[in-house]
Every structure is written in structure tokens, then in C-alpha cells.
């Protein structure tokens, strides 16, 4: 048993309404287990980490067990600090939204004691306070413990660490021996256990094992997309945010394989990880990822389980996780070691309901964002390029070039014009020809390269070119001679001195690469492989890493 629905906990209708009103859909594990034990009257020690819903796990049974007809004090809750006492009373007030004859009173230091005395005179069935101030009132006889049936120590370890042991012991000895004693603690120190031994009656011990919980440092965002636009959306986000390492989660092995192919086809350094791979293959992929030789790791949940990489910048949920718990596991891959990270989730149509469940489960907020437009991408690319210009200026050695610029400047042309023209020439190749509607994800291809590849073409790289006397028709001849690829499906061929780019239909790429292994063109042994993305920044770091 992990979690229960609140419906299964036999709660009073007014509590049920309040819980629903608070937006709780399912009880947390500590709530599922603690509520029945406390309602049965047992003493109990509950251990679970922060943020797991401990307040309601004692708040719900505590309030249910109060007899509204009896105006005397029935339950005492001790908290380490005034802030926590306030927080707990606020949660209690919410739980009491549909019940008006139970009075809860917070009692903490810093508030004028006279006002508290007045409030205490009016009577309260539940007191939530800090040990110091509660003791104070007991000494003044403004607070009497004789009628208390239930004492709850919230964050017991904290209170002991803060030196409240004597106060707590004093308070407990003044309450009736038949009371029910409940203790919550995030950790279980010897001190906590010895206090339990002294004041508790055969307590049930409840420990909820640690689960990875959402770290607030992770920026969580979702994007509404169409299924067919996911690839495009992913590429845009990568181009804008330019993460060094990211993990892209898909729900099936097939989805992983397909996405890796598509990303490679678009020139990204990507590789996949899923359960069908042998250990050695997985190790190789992970090694590449760690060293930065690939920037995108595409993985299934199962395959990603044991992976341990610290500086993942972005986790993409390409497919929304099937299981809510997976979401927490997935995004836990970023924002490690106190770094900030991002989690981007693609949400298709009705999946928004699933996303809401995830938010409830993970107790987190995932905010909607619009996908970056072409002008966002243009701005990012321009910024990157301008940064690079700055570093070239800083490197110096520009005299010769400055002379050229000076030579073309005259009354009509100033140096700013020259710089602007150069920028236009450079960026024109990468961004400015996106004339299509900025939000139509289907027609826009925001990825590098001056020549746009049509959707189903893949760019291949051959490691020899004009200098080896290779001509376009030699390539067509070799491809169709050595493989079963018809010559007329081969797309654009760009010849350079020492290499060639050839665009080929996606479905033939693998056959060509395989078929051309150890083959020669014009007497020269060549290698055909997928072209890397012509993005200088990346290429530079790639070279550095592989030294």
C-alpha cells in the first residue's frame, strides 16, 4: 500500500469537503498510513522528509477526534518555531473551513501575552504552540493541561536540536498519562528515540522511505504542441537555450530510436539509451555523453534509471511520462548539486489532464510557456555571434583587416555600415531567410546551415573532395553502383576542397553509409558518415574535448 484516496479513509463529510477544497486529490503515503493509526488512538512516531504532507496527516485525525461539545482543551501541538506554529494553524484553519464549532489557537513567542491570555480565556479545543510560550502560560496558570487527550510533537528532532527537551518533558509530565502521544520527525536520532521511550506507550513506528522530490531550483515549464511538431519544437528550444547537455525522455524504445535518427539528420550530436542495448553499448553512449561528445541523450525511463551525470542543463519530456512518479525521477536529472536546471514538457491536447495530475503528485507548479519564435532564435544567434566578435577583438591582430575596412570607407560608407553588412552576410545564412509565419512550426526550419534540408533528407559527409578530383557525378555513380540507391533520389551535392556534403533521402542514409564502407571514389578510399551540424561554437568545444 502506497497511497490511498481520501475517500478510503472514512473521513467526516466536512473534512472531505475541506480536503477537496484545498485541492488534495490523493492522500500522500504518510497521510495514508498515519491517519488510520492516529484515529485508532495509538501512539505513533512518523518519519518522513519535508514536504510530504505531515501536517494534514496529524491535522485531519486530530480535528476529527475533537469533541465540539466539550469546550475544554483537548489537543496540544508543539512546533519548534513561531513560523511553523503559524503554518500549522493555517493548515488547520483550512481543514476547518466547513466546521465552525472547533476552536484552534496558536500560541507563540513574540505575540503580546495579554492578548493571548484573553484569547485563552475564551477557550480553545486545540492549541498549536512553541514549547517556551506554552510553558510560560502553564506557569501563569492561563493554560491547563489536565483535559488534554492528545499531544503531537511536530518536527521533534528540530525541537530537541533547539534545546527544548526540558520544556517538552515538563509539558508532557503535566498532561494526563492516558493521553495519546504522536511524534513527527524528519530524522530519527537517539534523542528522539529516548524521548519516545520515556513518554510514549508502545508506539507504532511509521517510516516513509525517501523519495526524490521536486527541487524548487528546477524551472518547470510545459509547451502545448501538436504531436507532429514535437521535433521542430525540440530543435527550436535547443537552439535558443543552447544547453551543453540535455536528456530527452521518450516513452518507448521505438520513439527513442526514431528521435535519435531525426536529430542526427538535423545535425545534432545525439544518441539513444534504451533497454535493448547491451551493457557495453550503454557504457559507450554514457561515456560519450559524459565527455560531451554528444549533447543530447535520448532515453527511456528504464534506461535512464541508473545514470548519474551532474550537469544536465535541461530535461525534456518529449513524451509526457506515463507514470507521475517518472516525472519526478526524470526532472531530478537536472538541477543537481545546487545548480539550476530546466525541465521542459511537451503536452499534446488532452495530456494537460495528465500534467495536472503530475503537478498534484509532485506538489509542484509547471507553468505554460510559448515556444520560441524565429525572432527569438534570431536574437539568440545574433547574441552568440556578437559575443564571438568581442572575443576576436580582444584577441587582437586586427591591423591588416582594419586597413581593409578603412580602405572601403568613404563619405557614403562608415565603419558601422561595414560591420552591419558583415553581420547581415553572416546571419543571413543562418536566420534571416525565415520568412514564413513565425508560429507555423511545420514550415519553418530554424536550424543552421545556409541550405535548408527538406524534411526527409539527411546530410552525409564524405572525407574527400575536389582536391581528390571528385566530381558530383562520381558520387552519384559510386552511391548507385555500390548500394541499391537509385541515382535520381540523391539530392544536392556540395563540393569542397577536402570534403563533400551530399543530401540523401532519410530512408537511404543507413544503406549508403553501410554500402560505402571501405569503398573508393576516384581511387581514393573514403568514409561516408552523417554530417555534423555546422555550428562553430559546438565544433570548437567538440575538438577540444576529443584531444
Q: Are residues 43 and 204 in contact, defined by beta-carbon separation less than 8 angstroms?
A: yes
Q: How far apart are CA 324 and CA 212, in angstroms?
A: 12
Contact flag: residue 53 with ligand ADP (CB under 6 A): yes
E strands present in 137-226: 150-153, 180-185, 204-207, 218-224
Within a 10 A sphere around the Cβ of 272, how many other Cβ atoms? 27
Q: How far is the CB of 371 from ligand ADP (least distance, A)?
A: 30
Contact flag: residue 255 with Mg ion (CB under 5 A): no
Gap between the terminal Cα atoms of the chain: 53
Interacting residue with ligand ADP among 50, 367, 407, 546 (CB under 6 A)? 50
Q: How far is the CB of 112 from ligand ADP (least distance, A)?
A: 27
Q: 92 or 508, CB closer to ligand ADP? A: 92
Within a 10 A sphere around the Cβ of 342, how many other Cβ atoms? 20
Among candidates 372, 375, 501, which has minimal Cα distance to 432? 375
DSSP tag of 26: B
Contact flag: residue 156 with Mg ion (CB under 5 A): no
- Binding string to Mg ion for residues 35 to 74, with x set by CB under 5 A, is what? -------------------x--------------------
Q: How far is CA 174 from CA 144, 148, 152, in A?
A: 9, 10, 14
- Binding string to ligand ADP for residues 5 to 44, with x set by CB under 6 A, is what? -------------------x-xxx--x-------------
Q: How far is the CB of 157 from ligand ADP (least distance, A)?
A: 13
Q: How far is the CB of 82 from Mg ion (least distance, A)?
A: 14
Q: 157 or 295, CB closer to Mg ion? A: 157
Q: 30 or 234, CB closer to ligand ADP? A: 30
Which residues partner with 113 through β-bridges?
A: none
* CA 322 from centre of chain: 16
Determine the interface stretch with ligand ADP among 48-56, 95-103, 393-401, 408-416 (rule: CB under 6 A): 48-56
Enumerate residues 6+ apart whose C-beta is below 8 A from 341. Answer: 217, 218, 219, 312, 313, 314, 315, 331, 334, 335
Interacting residue with ligand ADP among 9, 56, 79, 470 (CB under 6 A)? 56
Contact flag: residue 506 with ligand ADP (CB under 6 A): no
- Binding string to ligand ADP for residues 362 to 381, with x set by CB under 6 A, is what? -x------------------
For ligand ADP (CB under 6 A), the number of binding residues is 14
Q: Are residues 207 and 47 in contact, defined by beta-carbon separation less than 8 angstroms?
A: yes
SS3 536: helix
Contact flag: residue 267 with ligand ADP (CB under 6 A): no
Determine the interface stretch with ligand ADP among 53-61, 129-137, 140-148, 451-459 (rule: CB under 6 A): 53-61
Grid coordinates standing for 264?
Answer: 542526427
- The residue ranges that bind Mg ion (CB under 5 A) are 54
Amino acid at each position: 500500500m502506497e497511497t490511498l484516496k481520501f475517500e478510503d479513509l472514512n473521513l467526516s463529510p466536512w473534512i472531505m469537503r475541506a480536503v477537496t477544497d484545498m485541492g488534495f486529490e490523493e492522500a500522500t503515503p504518510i497521510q495514508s498510513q498515519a491517519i488510520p493509526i492516529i484515529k485508532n488512538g495509538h501512539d505513533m512516531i512518523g518519519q518522513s522528509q519535508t514536504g510530504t504532507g505531515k501536517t494534514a496527516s496529524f491535522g485531519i485525525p486530530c480535528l476529527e477526534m475533537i469533541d465540539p461539545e466539550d469546550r475544554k482543551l483537548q489537543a496540544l501541538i508543539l512546533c519548534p518555531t513561531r513560523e511553523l506554529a503559524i503554518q500549522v494553524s493555517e493548515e488547520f484553519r483550512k481543514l476547518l473551513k466547513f466546521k465552525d464549532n472547533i476552536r484552534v489557537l496558536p500560541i507563540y513567542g513574540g505575540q503580546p501575552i495579554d492578548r493571548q491570555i484573553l484569547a485563552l480565556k475564551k477557550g480553545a479545543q486545540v492549541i498549536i504552540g512553541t514549547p517556551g510560550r506554552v510553558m510560560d502560560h502553564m506557569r501563569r496558570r492561563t493554560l491547563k493541561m489536565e483535559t488534554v487527550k492528545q499531544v503531537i510533537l511536530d518536527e521533534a528532532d528540530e525541537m530537541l536540536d533547539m534545546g527544548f527537551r526540558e520544556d517538552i518533558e515538563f509539558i508532557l509530565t503535566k498532561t494526563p498519562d492516558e493521553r495519546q502521544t504522536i511524534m513527527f520527525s524528519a530524522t530519527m536520532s537517539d534523542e528522539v528515540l529516548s524521548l519516545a521511550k520515556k513518554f510514549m506507550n508502545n508506539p507504532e513506528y511509521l517510516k516513509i522511505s525517501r523519495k526524490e522530490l521536486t527541487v524548487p531550483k528546477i524551472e518547470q515549464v510545459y509547451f502545448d504542441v501538436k504531436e507532429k511538431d514535437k521535433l521542430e519544437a525540440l530543435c527550436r528550444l535547443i537552439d535558443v537555450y543552447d544547453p551543453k547537455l540535455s536528456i530527452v525522455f521518450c516513452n518507448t524504445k521505438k520513439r527513442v530510436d526514431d528521435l535519435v535518427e531525426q536529430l542526427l539528420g538535423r545535425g545534432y550530436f545525439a544518441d539513444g539509451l534504451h533497454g535493448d542495448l547491451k551493457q557495453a553499448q550503454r557504457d559507450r553512449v554514457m561515456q560519450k555523453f559524459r565527455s560531451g561528445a554528444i549533447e543530447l541523450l535520448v532515453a527511456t525511463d528504464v534506461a535512464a534509471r541508473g545514470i548519474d551525470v551532474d550537469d544536465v542543463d535541461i530535461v525534456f519530456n518529449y513524451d509526457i511520462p506515463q507514470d507521475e512518479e517518472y516525472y519526478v525521477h526524470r526532472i531530478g536529472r537536472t538541477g543537481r548539486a545546487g545548480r539550476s536546471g530546466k525541465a521542459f514538457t511537451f503536452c499534446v491536447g488532452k495530456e494537460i489532464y495528465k500534467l495536472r495530475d503530475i503537478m498534484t503528485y509532485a506538489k509542484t507548479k509547471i507553468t505554460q510557456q510559448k515556444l520560441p519564435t524565429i525572432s527569438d532564435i534570431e536574437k539568440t544567434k545574433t547574441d552568440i555571434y556578437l559575443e564571438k566578435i568581442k572575443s576576436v577583438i580582444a584577441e587582437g591582430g586586427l591591423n591588416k583587416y582594419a586597413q581593409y575596412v578603412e580602405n572601403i570607407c568613404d563619405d557614403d560608407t562608415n565603419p558601422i555600415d561595414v560591420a552591419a553588412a558583415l553581420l547581415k552576410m553572416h546571419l543571413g545564412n543562418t536566420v534571416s531567410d525565415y520568412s514564413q509565419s513565425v508560429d507555423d512550426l511545420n514550415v519553418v526550419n530554424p536550424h543552421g546551415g545556409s541550405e535548408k534540408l527538406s524534411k526527409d533528407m539527411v546530410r552525409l559527409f564524405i572525407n574527400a573532395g575536389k582536391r581528390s578530383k571528385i566530381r558530383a557525378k562520381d558520387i552519384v555513380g559510386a552511391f548507385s553502383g555500390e548500394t541499391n540507391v537509385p541515382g535520381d533520389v540523391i539530392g544536392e551535392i556540395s563540393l569542397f576542397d577536402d570534403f563533400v556534403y551530399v543530401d540523401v533521402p532519410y530512408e537511404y542514409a543507413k544503406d549508403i553509409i553501410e554500402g560505402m564502407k571501405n569503398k573508393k571514389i576516384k581511387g581514393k578510399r573514403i568514409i561516408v558518415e552523417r554530417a555534423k551540424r555546422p555550428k562553430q561554437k559546438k565544433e570548437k568545444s567538440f575538438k577540444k574535448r576529443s584531444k
